[in-house]
Each structure stands twice: as structure tokens, then as C-alpha cells.
Amino acid sequence: MQNNRLASLLKEAVLTFVISLILFGPISGLVLDGFGFRNELGRSVTLAAIITAGRVLVSLAGMSEIGKRLRSRLTSSNSGVTVNTGQERSPLLPLAVLFLAGLALPFFADKYFLGIAILALIYCLLGLGLNIVVGLAGLLDLGFVAFYAVGAYLLALGYQYLGLGFWSALVIAPFLAGLFGMVLAFPVLKMHGDYLAIVTLGFGEIIRLVLNNWLEFTGGPNGAPVPAPTLFGLEFTRTAKQGGVPIHEFLGISYSGDYKFWFIYVVLFLVVCAVIYAVHRLRVMPLGRMWEALREDEIACRSLGVNHVFTKLSAFMLGASTGGIAGVFFAVHQGFVNPTSFTFFESALILAIVVLGGLGSTVGVVLAAIVLTILPELLRDFAEYRVLVFGILMVVMMIWKPRGLVRLTRPAFFPSSHSEAGIALRLEPQTEAGR
Amino acid sequence: MKTPILEVQNVTMRFGGIVANRDVSFAAERGAITALIGPNGAGKTTIFNCITGFYRASEGRILLNGRNGPQDIGQLMTRPITGGSHLVTRAGIARTFQNIRLFKEMSVVENLLVAQHLATRNNLLSGVFRTRAYRAAETEAVDRAYFWLSQMNLASDANRLAGELPYGRQRRLEIARAMCTSPALICLDEPAAGLNPSETRELSEVIQRLCAEHDLSVLVIEHDMGLVMRIADHIVVLDHGEVISDGTPDSVANDPAVIAAYLGVSEEEVTA
């Protein structure tokens, strides 16, 4: 038995070494030198040896008691969905603490960290929006960034041509983005799966290309400036530029560029909380249930009288609206927009957030958004390898947690006390508790 | 005589050059169990899909004499923009499927709640702000779901995932879900397929009870002849897309055309 294990360990180590040698050989073993190349195979051998050692260590750890327990825990939670028992403790207290902590963050964080936090919240919004479309309604959308761009450019161009401010853009953006969502959704609703993904991918690119090439209207690759936000006519700039009063003069304090970011953070935080609440409610509402039912089985839905076209349309529009709101915040945070912010990579990143968080799980999406924004910041030193680490993370996730970081739960429903079934249940409480 | 709940008039269904149903006419009586039988490939499921609005019949009419007077199924489906098979369900025809189609990753109650989406408040804002009317409608829907669950002996499974249930219970859940749309006619596509004898017996009791207690008409496709002969008031036999016999169980069972279709005929009889 012991021998057997050792042999398999050895086999694994040799296999790992060979594969990594094949991979690293050309990548780091051959160095371009003018028109020829130098041979530095020693480097790739070292790299392969490091990887092999790591593989052996992982295997050894997996054989130990702790490793075994860890592994069984990781794999057993794969089963996916569970139904609540209806006796869970209300998470109100921890949520309230989180809410207050989130609101108080600007007082503790420096400007750099606040910037990351704003970005993380923007991705939260995007993830929540896409989660409605992909996670709940099951429509794969690869062009979600288009609605993000619509929101961002609404503020930039609206200011330029119509004199819209931050607040009016914030109100108009969900409707405009929803309208764009409807325009996209109408022709594509008959499609399923891969076809839908390709069409939405195309739509995302169309929006970006239009923004890039319509020089007279959008400013093309040069982008467009975005006004700073205001609060009841108070401005966050050193001198008033939009006909208001600078906030530091109004309050009689000294000027700091941070005020603007504090303001954006607080408003964004409140909006994210509102959206989280709405999405959370949606999951137990008839509309949200219909989306999920549509994801599970469209034909069965039609047999139950669900209008599948309008249901899909509503998912698309609500998802797009959320993306539009995120766009407004992105624009006002950056102070400038141009088409390079809205590439396909951005769509893929948002999709990664949704998949990583677990399709359909609100908590998971929020966590994944935070992880995927903070991770690149922590990896600044390895900027070159960022995408590689990303890829490895995704592969590992798909192997061990294919259903996402957070396990899905479904709400429990009980009959009201005055109905017949409710009385029957009350008489036999032990059958329910026995489950 | 009462008007039949469903009238199928000269329905022909073609897929390209293939004729699946030719000139099919029959009627399903109100408050009775009508069975549609026939050998494999006789076109039973095709006519079923025409009735429940999943196919548009190439020719002929299907009339439902439901709560809102006579309605043409074909017209409901081709109504511009809003038309579709979901309108057929709203008119009062519910169906189950040959291969069970439940929302497997949703709980049993949720399956039934989706079916009641016309009775619940679907307005986005009323749900987000939990208005009084929204809560009342939700409570009512949950209670109705529990009512049908207890009718189907499923109440103890209410808060489990639909996909986790044993096969026989999934079958009954599908019927309960169809009942939640409050139909006038329920169409069951091979409800006894894959059930063991005791489950089949339980099912036939359920179907008879639906018919007797809940003022429902049932149209059922079934291969289990024991079940059909036991529960059906009226049997329609299809073969090669055409109606070859139509009558009470006794008359159908003794009809030579039906026996020939099921058992085949010897060569002498064909030449004779």
C-alpha cells in the first residue's frame, strides 16, 4: 500500500515535470537576441523543478488527515442548491453592522483605497445587473459592457449637449440603458444559448465602435470630459465651475480633493445597497421566480401561461438598467470617458464575477466583485502575470467549486395559519421538523 | 346535452411532406375523462401539442368552450405580438409532459407559485416595497399551492427541491402544478409512464378525484390499457394519424379496427 502510493506520487511528479518543461521550454528557455536566440534551458528546468516540488507538496498535503478533511469539505459542498428550513436566524444584525462599516469606510481609508472601494462597488453593480440576466434568467450576455458605456456616455454627452448633471443622469441612465436593452433584446429573444451570446457580443462591440468612430458626436478615441458631481448646488471643486458654491467654502473648511470621492463613495454605497435589496426581493417575487423558471425550462413555462417573451425582455431591461447606473458612477469617478474603458475584456470580467460568485447568488456576486477588484491591486507587482493568475483562479474554481463561491439557497414557504393546510401542519409539527 | 369542453374539428397537421394527423375530429365531454390511445407513432402527441397550443394545426379548428365562451386555439396562437402558447393556458387548458418538465432547482412550492403568476402581484414596485395587496396575494398563492400539494399527498415535500423528489412524486407534482393554473381542461401526456402498479393505482384515483370533486375535464394519453379502461368515460383511438374508433371503453375494446391496429392482422384477412 505504502509502496503503491509512493509509485503513484513519483509518476505524478515525473508527469508534472515533463509537462511544465514542455510549457516553459520555449517560453523562458529561448531568449531572443537580435536575429538569433540564446539557449537558456537551465531557467526552464529550474521553473519546472519548482512546479514539480509544489505538485508533490500538494499531493502530500492531500494525503494527510487535515488535507483529507479539507478536501471532503470542499467537494461535499458541490451539491449546489438547498432549500431553507424557515428557521434560519435573521441576518439583520450582521447586515446592519456591515452597512454602518461600509458607510464609515471613507473616514478610515486613504484616497488610494477609497478609489479601489469605489471601483469594487461599481463592479458590484455591474455584477448584480448581469446576474439578473445570466444568473436568474439564464440568458448568456457577452456584451453587457454596452449598457455600462451607455450610462457613462449619457453623463458625458448629456452634460456637453444638454447640460445634464450627475443627479439627472443618475435618474435617466436606468431608463435609457433599459431602452437600449429592449432594442437589443427584441430581435434576439428567439435565440438560445450560444447564438444569443454571439449576438450580444456583437452588440457590445457595435456600441464601442460607434463611440470610437463617431468623432463629431462622441469625441471618438479622444473621449469626452465628465462634470464633477454636485450636491444641492454645492460643488466639490476648488472653485465653482457649474454656477454653485464650493462645498469647502460653504462649510468653512479647507479644500481637499478627497471630498468628491467621499461623496461619490457614499452615494454609490447607498445605491448598491438599494440594488442589493431589490435583487434580493426579486428572488422571492413572482417576476424573479418566472425568470428562474424560464432558465430551468422554457417549454414548461409556456405550458403554465408565462409569457416568455415579456419575461425575458424584463430581465434584459432590468439588467441593462443596473449596468447604466454603474456607468454613470464610473464616468463621474473617472471625470473622463473614452471607448477603451468598454472593451470586450470588461464584459468578460463582469461575466467572471457572476460565474465566480455562483450564478444567481447575490452574496456571491458581491463577494466575487470585491475579490476580483482587489486582487489585481494586490497583484500590482506581478502586473505582467495578472491575467495568468486570473486564468488559474478560474480553472481552480471550475474544478472545485463549479457552482460558485457561495452555495445557493432557496426560500422556504409555509401556509398561512388560517388555511386548512396550515392547520394540518400545525397539528403535525414533528413531520416538518423531521425533514 | 351539454356542450363538450373541447371540440377538435377536422384537424390536419403536416410537417413538410409528412402528414402526422389527417382530418382528426373528436370531442371531449365536460366533466369526463377522455382517453386518447393508439400505437406508437399514431400522432397522439402531435394532436396533443395542437390542443395545448405548442403546434399550430395546418388545417381545421380546435374549439375550447371554457369559462369565456368558445375560443379558437389556433387564433390565440397567431395573435400578433402577444400571441403564443401561453394564451392557451390562460384560456383554461393545462398540460403535463411525457418526460417530466419540472423546475428542478426550485423548491416544490416555488414550482406551484410560478404556475399562479396570473393571480399574484407581478408589479415590480409592489414586490420591492411589499405592499399590503402584494402580501395578501402572495399568502393566497402559497395557501393555494399547499391546498393542491395536500390534494396530491405531497404536502410533506413542500420545501424540498423538485429535482430531489422520487419519480412518482415528480409526476404528481407536475399535475399539481398544472392544477394551479386553475384550468377547465387538463391534458395529461402519459401520466403513468414509469410508475409501478401501486403508484398507477394511486394516480388513477387522483385523476378520478380531480374529475369528480373539482369540476374538471381530463384528456389523457396513455399506453397502460388497464388504467385507461378503468378510468376513461370515453376513448378515442388514433392510428396512422387518423381516428379509427371513438366510443365508450367497451365498444372500443371490441372494435375489430382497434384490435387490428394493436395486434396486427394476419395475411389472409388482408387479402380477403
Q: Are residues A33 and A127 in the same domain?
A: no
User: What range does the domain containing A136 cover?
Assistant: 91-410
Q: Are residues B216 and B264 in the same domain?
A: yes
Query: In the listed set B115, B147, B182, which residue is the last one of a domain according to the structure?
Result: B182
Say what the pLDDT of residue A329 is: 93
Structurally, how many domains does chain A consist of? 2
From A431, which residue of chain B is nearest by alpha-carbon distance? B156
Cα of A313 to nearest chain B Cα, Å: 13
Show residues of chain B in contact with A422, CB under 8 Å. 143, 146
Q: Note whether residue A335 is domain-resident.
A: yes
Query: In the listed set A30, A53, A77, which residue is the last one of a domain according to the structure?
Result: A77
User: What range does the domain containing B82 cover?
Assistant: 1-92+183-272
Query: In the listed set B182, B207, B231, which residue is the last one of a domain according to the structure?
Result: B182
Mean pLDDT within A222-243: 78
Q: Are residues A222 and A296 in the same domain?
A: yes
Cβ separation of A303 and B85 shorter than 8 Å? Answer: yes
- What pLDDT band is residue A149 in, cutting at 50, 70 and 90? very high
Q: Note whether residue B97 is domain-resident.
A: no
Q: Are residues A113 and A39 in the same domain?
A: no
Cross-strand pairs, B94: B186
Structurally, how many domains does chain B consist of? 2
Show residues of chain B in contact with A306, CB under 8 Å. 86, 114, 117
Q: Residues B216-264: pLDDT tens digits?
A: 899 999 888 888 888 888 999 988 888 888 888 888 888 888 888 887 7
Cα of B127 to nearest chain A Cα, Å: 6
Q: Are residues B211 and B141 in the same domain?
A: no
Q: Residues B157-196: pLDDT tens digits?
A: 888 888 888 888 899 899 999 998 888 899 999 888 888 8
Q: Note whether residue A83 is domain-resident.
A: no
Q: Are residues A203 and A103 in the same domain?
A: yes
Q: Are residues A44 and A103 in the same domain?
A: no
Residue whose cell numbers read 409512464 = B193
Q: Note whether residue A424 is domain-resident.
A: no
Q: How far is CA B71 from CA A433, B51, B63, B92, B250, in A?
A: 48, 12, 5, 10, 32
Q: Are residues B7 and B70 in the same domain?
A: yes
Instruction: Name the residue with higher pLDDT: A230 or B175.
Output: B175
Cβ separation of A302 and B85 shorter than 8 Å? Answer: yes
**Cα distance between the two ends of chain B:** 41
Q: Are residues B87 and B198 in the same domain?
A: yes
Q: Are residues A254 and A315 in the same domain?
A: yes
Q: Residues B255-269: pLDDT tens digits?
A: 888 888 887 776 665
Run of H or E residues at A409: strand A409-410
Can you give the CATH number for the domain in which A352 is found?
1.10.3470
Q: Note whether residue A50 is domain-resident.
A: yes
- What pLDDT band is residue A323 in, cutting at 50, 70 and 90? very high
Q: Note whether residue A211 is domain-resident.
A: yes
Cα of A282 to nearest chain B Cα, Å: 7
Query: Which of B89, B145, B147 lies closest to A304 in CB terms?
Result: B89
Q: Residues B76-132: pLDDT tens digits?
A: 777 776 777 788 888 888 899 888 899 888 889 989 998 888 776 667 777 777 788
Q: Say yes or no: A78 contacts chain B, CB-CB below 8 A.
A: no
Query: In the listed set B182, B215, B235, which residue is the last one of a domain according to the structure?
Result: B182
